[in-house]
Amino acid sequence: MRAAPGHPCRELGRLQLLAWLEGAPQGWLVLDAQQRIQAINPRAERLLQLPADRLVRGQSLRAVIQQMDLEEAIRLVGRRGRPQRLEWWQGNEPLEAVLLAGGEGWVALWINSRRSMESQLDQQSRWVSDVAHELKTPLTALMLVGERLATETGQEAGGSGGGSSALLVDRLQRELKRLQELVGDLLELSRLENSLPLDESRYEVLDLWELADEAWSSLRPLAESRGVRLVTGQRQASLLWADASRLHRALLNLFENALRYSPDGAVVELSVGSSGLWWELEVRDHGPGLSQQDLAHLFERFYRGDPSRVRSQQAGSGLGLAIVEQIALTHGGRVQARNHPDGGAAIEMVLPKGV
């Protein structure tokens, strides 16, 4: 590209970048491969509650902030080169950071307070929860009406052939059931978003393999009707400190998603690996894989991929993977998706061991 007259083309310099970081309204922290602080702007210093007269450039992160989860996340981003989001409390300040790989082990942290963001999310979540609660009562009444109509049309069909009415009632029941599941998912998502991360009152020592077996058992009749099998990698004790009911729900949603995109007679693969303080659980299908649009929006609410790739007739609410992501976040972990090199899609849930 040719430079415009009077504006000679030149490379961005280090001083220019540092000047932009200094003036940024968000907190920025830059670390080298040894986790030494190479740049930090005033906003980050305030968010991390560092004394104004303390010089931290050149010091190790551990000497400045004692956050083991943050250190582990930085190592993971530096090693894998993929971004990660992390939440923690610095004193009485709820913070979030997006960790970005810079190559050769360098990592940049975009740091922000969650206070203003949380108030907006709380208001939104309360609205969703209120609407969902209001919908539950009329939906229950409609389900009862649908059951009564199904009984009556069944009796008519046995006598004078009310086949068309029976088909309409069957469709009505299916749509009402889908709407009921959608309301249930909205309520669950709202509860997750308003729950405290790492809520110890709900946590216990669990084994990931046992939870996965229970979740697959719930779907086995559906899988067997389509000839789909679960294939597992090498098993070993995979203990973690977690919420059993919510982690079961996350695994159930991951398996349901894999089944939805699996061809009849295919396999769904499950593996659990260890990486430092983390468990890495991966569910892979042998379907058509994910488009670039899928990869960008897969965990958003109500996002559905290309319907032509769906191999199952079972329709989802569009909230299943959003719930998985929120469950992973409340456990201090994360979830990510990719296309497997040998075909199909793989969704990985990374969770802290905590035991």
Residue range 304-329, pLDDT digits in tens:
766 656 655 555 667 889 899 989 98
Buried b (16+ CB within 10 A) or exposed e, 205-222: ebbbbebbeebbeebeee
Blockwise average pLDDT, block size 10, the chain, 355 residues: 46 75 86 93 90 85 89 87 85 88 90 71 63 73 81 63 71 78 74 64 89 94 94 90 91 94 94 92 94 88 68 66 90 92 94 80
Given this structure, which CATH class describes domain 117-193? Answer: mainly alpha
User: Which residues sit opposite 239 in a β-bridge?
Assistant: 207
Quick one: which of 30, 20, 94, 99 has its CA closest to 61? 30
Residue 77 one-letter amino acid: V
> Is the Cβ–Cβ distance between 65 and 37 less than 8 Å?
no
Going by C-beta distance under 8 Å and a sequence separation of 6 or more, which residues neighbour residue 268? 223, 228, 229, 230, 231, 255, 258, 259, 262, 283, 284, 285, 286
* CATH (residue range 200-352): 3.30.565.10
Boundaries of every domain in the chain: 14-113, 117-193, 200-352
Place of tokens 């488009």: 291
> Is the Cβ–Cβ distance between 256 and 219 less than 8 Å?
yes
* Per-residue pLDDT reduced to its tens digit, 178-198: 777 777 777 777 777 666 566
CATH superfamily of 14-113: PAS domain (3.30.450.20)
pTM metric for this prediction: 0.56
Residue-by-residue DSSP string for 258-313 = HHHTPPTT-EEEEEEEEETTEEEEEEE--SS---HHHHHHTTSTT----GGG--SS
Residue 223 one-letter amino acid: A
Backbone angles phi, psi at 261, to 5 degrees: -105, 5
